[in-house]
Amino acid sequence: MKQLYILDPFEKLHITSDTSILLMNEALHRGHEVYSCTEFDISRSRASTSCLARHHRNEIGESIRLSSLTETRYNLESFDVILIRKDPPFDESYLILLLLLVDIRGPRIINKPLSLLRYNEKLSIFLFPEFITETIVTSSLSRIIRFVTEVGGTVVLKPLYSCSGKDVELLLATDPGLKEIILSATGNETRKIMIQRYLPEVTAGETRIFMLGDSPLAVMKKIPAPGSFKANFDFGAHGAPHILTEKEGEISRAVGAFCSEEDIVLSALDIIAGHLSEFNITSPGLLAESNQVDNVHYEEPIIQFLANQSRK
């Protein structure tokens, strides 16, 4: 396969633990052609949509930050598989990237640009209302304050276009600065945010399910650091082995069926106390952390899956 990975700049990646790097190195080990570019390297002309990309021939390590690999322009139609691996924020630049890719017909694009355009990672949990806790999306200060009281006085505030726990906050009805926090997060009631009932069970761990197609591939518990409610590795969480509960299995089957219908190949579910918290489809990660927890190499079945798909 001739594979193109659309990444954030290497300077922003944790090279030794980044999921995209794991996939690229596994593809290299199997003899595939591996290329990379950033969103800024893609352009459109009357003739074609193309990219200025690096051709990787050797295993990618920390030295890639200092590498001066030659960049060459390629027609995107020349690739067999294109993997969109840019992290949020889902901003104007991300939107334009997807609009440029949505009409590409030759390569298999993972995940499908149209699905990424349609399904926001936070809002997509509403596709499965039977599995989520009390949740609202609004910019209204009075609505949020009323909701905080209605669900017991403690909620979690989430921006809609970020990732990795950035700007996620725990709000308490008793906090004297509650109004100011909400006004700041909503841009004085001009920007919608998500508010969810706080689930105290998160301190014992949030279940992460990395999905390959319609089935769970890797499962682990993300356990927050002491004193924290954020089950994010960037905020000190760690992974632990976990076997899916009956409820988690039910959720993964329902979401897996949806992924199959929408041609979403790589995704990740976050579940707290049997409630679907997030449905990550832009650039699901933590594969290296799952590898470490289970002592396996989950990148292997993913690259094999892509190879099998490209032969169809």
CATH 3.30.470.20 intervals, the chain: 201-280
CATH 3.40.50.20 intervals, the chain: 2-114
Q: Could you read off the pLDDT tens digit of each residue along the chain, which spans 312 residues?
A: 999 999 999 999 999 999 999 999 999 999 999 999 999 999 999 999 999 999 999 999 999 987 766 789 999 999 999 999 999 888 999 999 999 999 998 899 999 999 999 999 899 999 999 999 999 999 999 999 999 999 999 999 999 987 766 789 999 999 999 999 999 999 999 999 999 999 999 999 999 999 999 999 999 999 999 999 999 998 999 999 999 999 999 999 999 999 999 999 999 999 999 999 999 999 999 999 999 999 999 999 999 999 987 644
134-198: CATH topology is Dna Ligase; domain 1 (3.30.1490)
CATH 3.30.1490.20 intervals, the chain: 134-198
What pLDDT does 191 receive?
96
The torsion defined by the Cα of 122, 128, 134 and 139, in degrees rounded to 10, comes to 40
With beta carbons less than 8 A apart as the criterion, state whether 255 and 110 touch: no
Tell me the pTM.
Answer: 0.94
201-280: CATH topology is D-amino Acid Aminotransferase; Chain A, domain 1 (3.30.470)
Which CATH code for domain 2-114?
3.40.50.20
